Chain A
């Protein structure tokens, strides 16, 4: 093993969070190295406007994603079953390479609410402890007001297009009336609406609901961010999620940070290099660096004073387990924090079929649409209901790519002339929308290491034990009823409302919003990191990502991940560095 010269900071993974932390800490004058498992990627070469619109290559074969041969995980629905490897990814698709999942996301950019950050306290106060007795929800240890400046920072970095609903307590016409107060409006106006979301919003308004433009990381106009990096206007190409953007009009590390970061002499990235584990000093109370292997097959020890885990949330949790940072959660005893409170997203879809409409589904962007939050989180009274949590109802038609997007009436054959006729009829005239629901933690939904299956280096795969909690199924059923109300209002000749069932299936795509596993909190017995995302057990390690969410809200996670990254950077710059190696919060 080669031992390399020391760095002030080593960052594992150069996606959204790694790039934000690297840019902030190089501004502080630190010598920062990022180690990235996947390749270097940039717009001009890899997201080429001549061939990026290739559905087979990028969406079906998923060229830009993490491939299971490199790392997968095993799954089962409950602890009585034997977990088996996901031989291909399906339900969720982790990213790979510089830019991470931020390269191929859709760009929905939400703020969680104060009530989301205080889930346990809020629900207990409102409905009593018995209502959440079968859940393992937690408070985050932060307030919405504390998070606001960091959300603002991320939204202005990323050039989010949207309409504020509440500026300093003043409700804003056309925005989300349920959001917390924000200091100022979004940096860019909402995107121009296509036909389907415009119709959906009209139907919602006529029912007394409050539709508003989904906050989008697709640019409604050219935008220069506070770092001086310019993005171009979105062209509604319809190749967003699973694709890199060839127009520089979807925010990612590439389009917002890297042009500045890469020029700094005190920053360096090593690509196609996989960190195997964090190395700890004897006693296990502080990290001394990381061990990684590159494509030569050689192993390197990279000493560093500060280690930041900025991989995908699931991989952060696994790296902690493989490195002996914190204790792995055991559902039998409830002890251990790493792998605890793994959560997901609770979704269902609706299709409304018309004869006389042409929605031109291919004119689309990843986050171009309308959302109704009247039944999300704490926006409605759960007193008479049999569940907690909620969902956004989203009409965000992202594409008309024909291998994957061919809605047909229920009962249509899958092949032959009748199939073809129904496919042509359904392609342009179907309006789709869906619920994106909260996912609340339970004792038996967790991550640990698999006893049988190994990765290419012979290390245990992570094991995911997950099913939709009964509470979340009841929530989703109530929200499907609300989707049905809207479907009736929209008219159309027929509709089909999805109903989520128990038995999470790892095969069909659902959502790459995997949260938890290294959750933040105020109590080291129930959280892996403190409220600044610093490991309770190894204080010179920070773990940054959706791994920190104690449970997931009915919203996409990236806005909150970005805000938490800025907050951790702020804590490191202004507090941690005054007394390096010391905990920012006393256990």
Chain B
């Protein structure tokens, strides 16, 4: 019996779909035949690369000012922690948008693109990078039209009122940008940045982990399992260690 479905994909397409899978990896994983022993070679592991602040890789300066002002309202500076801007949430989002997340390269992006039911999830054609570009421009245009000001120049309570209206879908943004949907994306990514390991550019000095009492990457709690209802005594540690470990002379 022959194939019922002829294969229609050339080598270039196949390789690109494999490459998309391993965007964090230094090399594309290629087909291998293994037999006779467990394959192992030194230095084959694939650690994350520390995001360094400074400069924008995706955002324009105008977009960066807007996104920094937004993340600083979603995660405001108060007695519990530093704010989202100082924590690096905007830097985190900037770097994510230049990678696999921003381009949806791991997702199913073939058409046709049809409006779906809520149970069918996001069905839009735009990837997150495109949604940020359009969404930030729409916010800026809307506020300049309404208030004659940029978001960053509004008073904090007016910023909060605008974000609340976006969250509830009560703002008609230009160019067909759906306010509630874009707000959901902003909120999701801001929280990712604030709570992820600092290696990704947000959560500076493990600010959110100190706030919660999450010890981070420690990996062994055997001596505390039986200590019910007792605070865990040690401070957090990240994949990259602790700031104290990186001080001068150490």
Contact = CB atoms under 8 A, between A and B. Distances in A.
Contacts of B12: 297
A68 B14 contact: no
B38 A48 contact: no
Contacts of B30: 272, 295-296
Contacts of A282: 1
A357 B229 contact: yes
Contact of A46 (B45, B118, B195, B226): B45
A456 interface: yes
A452 B221 contact: no
A231 to B, nearest CB: 15
Given A72-B108, A82-B114, A291 B3 contact: yes
A247 B195 CA distance: 24
B18 interface: yes
B101 interface: yes
Contact of A271 (B34, B46, B214, B216): B34
A423 to B, nearest CB: 7
Given A45-B44, A406-B195, 10 more contacts: A55-B195, A56-B197, A69-B20, A84-B123, A262-B35, A270-B34, A324-B4, A416-B73, A417-B76, A458-B6
A273 B38 contact: no
A544 to B, nearest CB: 22
25 contacts: A44-B40, A46-B45, A54-B199, A56-B192, A56-B200, A61-B100, A77-B119, A85-B108, A88-B121, A236-B220, A236-B225, A263-B36, A265-B35, A268-B35, A269-B35, A271-B31, A277-B5, A295-B31, A296-B31, A297-B15, A298-B11, A322-B4, A416-B76, A416-B160, A417-B80
A267 B35 contact: yes
Interface string B196-223: 1101100000001101111111111110
Contacts of B45: 45-46, 48, 50
A385 interface: no
Nearest to A368: B225
B246 interface: no
Interface residues of B, number: 99
Nearest to B106: A67
Nearest to B78: A417
Contacts of A283: 1
B195 A427 contact: no
Contacts, number: 284
A433 to B, nearest CB: 17
B14 A262 contact: no
A70 interface: yes
Contacts of A284: 1
Contact of B9 (A40, A281, A457): A457
- Which of B31, B110, B208 is the most central at the interface, judged by chain A CB atoms within 10 Å of its CB? B31
Contacts of A323: 4
Contacts of B34: 40, 262, 268-271
B213 A427 contact: yes
Contacts of A84: 114, 116-117, 120, 123
Given A69-B109, A269-B34, A507-B121, A456 B229 contact: no
B177 interface: no
